[in-house]
């Protein structure tokens, strides 16, 4: 069994018994492969602490976390420098949650934590698709000789899923060959209404894993991240996409990664991350009903 340490506060409204919860939150505080500015492993406790600043009720979805069974397990105890071992621990923790039909919601950490999380979901949901919201393609074959990195994570995911099952939204940075690969093996979409409608149409009956890199947002809204990239979504656009698009999907797991408190002096990124975590948890409330269809 995975070992957790518990920060001083639980995430907002996540006070259910883990055995009874629909959504089970935990932190994966790892940033070993971050290429530019580390710090993401400090995010889960800070996002929890700052979640007291927001309400449990979402006017966007007209849903309240208080009406939902959400648990918070705390943060995984991870080996600091053994990346493979850390990924194993993260994957195992998620697998346990899937076994009981619950939905894991994970706070990174860097984006490489999504790989074991998606592998774990794939074991339970063999026809899994992934919706990846990010500024970056994350499709490099390797990064400075490393095949497991936050810059290669979606390439490894595609290798496990097979073609046609990765949908990428908000991407605006990568090499020409990464963009070519993205178009060849997956779906690169914009926030244009027609493309979002097509996404819902094609994914609504499939189990979907949501991987949200905070840098999909413009650095004006989310400066606290390791590799910010200009030209991103506004926080309002992203909140609308979650309430109007993501909530229509059968979400079987989600993560929120790459928040970096050392680059977030105003703490606006961490507070926004808490809001996004609330919205993602609430967006799963349709999932159980949809799974039965």
Give the footprint of Mn ion on this chain (CB under 5 A).
Answer: 134-136, 213, 215
Min dist. Cβ of residue 3 to Mn ion (A): 29
Min dist. Cβ of residue 135 to Mn ion (A): 5
With 0-12 CB in 10 A as exposed, 13-18 as middle and 19+ as buried, what is 20? exposed
Select 133 or 185, whichever has its Cβ closest to Mn ion. Answer: 133
Q: Which residue is nearest to Mn ion (CB)?
A: 136
Select 21 or 182, whichever has its Cβ closest to Mn ion. Answer: 182
Min dist. Cβ of residue 225 to Mn ion (A): 8
Select 178 or 213, whichever has its Cβ closest to Mn ion. Answer: 213
Min dist. Cβ of residue 166 to Mn ion (A): 15
257 Cβ contact list (under 8 Å, min separation 6): 40, 107, 108, 109, 110, 111, 113, 114, 211, 212, 213, 214
At 116, list the tokens. 């074991």
For residues 26 and 19, the answer to whether their CB atoms sit within 8 Å is no
For residues 40 and 226, the answer to whether their CB atoms sit within 8 Å is yes
Select 94 or 217, whichever has its Cβ closest to Mn ion. Answer: 217
For residues 11 and 72, the answer to whether their CB atoms sit within 8 Å is yes
Select 44 or 219, whichever has its Cβ closest to Mn ion. Answer: 219
| Distance in angstroms (rounded) separating the CA atoms of residues 272 and 279 | 10
Min dist. Cβ of residue 185 to Mn ion (A): 18
For residues 122 and 128, the answer to whether their CB atoms sit within 8 Å is yes
Select 21 or 135, whichever has its Cβ closest to Mn ion. Answer: 135
Min dist. Cβ of residue 37 to Mn ion (A): 12
Min dist. Cβ of residue 73 to Mn ion (A): 25
Select 103 or 216, whichever has its Cβ closest to Mn ion. Answer: 216
Which single residue is written with the structure tokens 């790459």?
258
Min dist. Cβ of residue 111 to Mn ion (A): 6
Select 74 or 116, whichever has its Cβ closest to Mn ion. Answer: 116
């Amino acid at each position: 069994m995975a070992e957790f340490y518990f920060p001083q506060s639980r995430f907002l409204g996540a006070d259910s018994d883990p055995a009874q919860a629909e959504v089970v939150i935990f932190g994966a505080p790892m940033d070993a492969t971050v290429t530019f500015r580390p710090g993401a492993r400090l995010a889960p406790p800070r996002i929890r602490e700052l979640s007291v600043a927001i309400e449990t009720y979402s006017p966007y979805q007209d849903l309240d976390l208080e009406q939902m069974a959400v648990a918070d397990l705390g943060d995984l105890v991870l080996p600091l420098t053994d990346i493979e071992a850390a990924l194993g621990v993260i994957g195992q923790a998620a697998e346990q949650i899937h076994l009981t039909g619950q939905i894991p919601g994970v706070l990174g950490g860097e984006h490489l934590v999504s790989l074991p999380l998606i592998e774990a979901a794939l074991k339970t949901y063999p026809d899994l698709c992934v919706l990846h919201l990010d500024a970056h393609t994350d499709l490099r074959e390797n990064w400075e000789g490393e095949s497991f990195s936050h810059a290669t994570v979606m390439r490894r995911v595609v290798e496990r899923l097979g073609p046609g099952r990765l949908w990428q939204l908000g991407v605006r940075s990568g090499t020409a060959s990464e963009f070519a690969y993205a178009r060849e093996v997956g779906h690169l979409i914009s926030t244009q209404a027609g493309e979002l409608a097509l996404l819902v149409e094609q994914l609504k009956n499939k189990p979907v894993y949501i991987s949200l890199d905070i840098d999909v947002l413009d650095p004006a809204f989310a400066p606290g991240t390791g590799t910010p990239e200009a030209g991103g979504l506004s926080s309002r656009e992203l909140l609308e996409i979650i309430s109007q698009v993501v909530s229509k999907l059968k979400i079987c797991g989600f993560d929120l990664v790459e928040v970096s408190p050392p680059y977030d002096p105003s703490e606006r990124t961490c507070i926004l991350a808490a809001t996004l975590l609330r919205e993602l948890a609430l967006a799963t409330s349709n999932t159980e009903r949809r799974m039965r269809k």
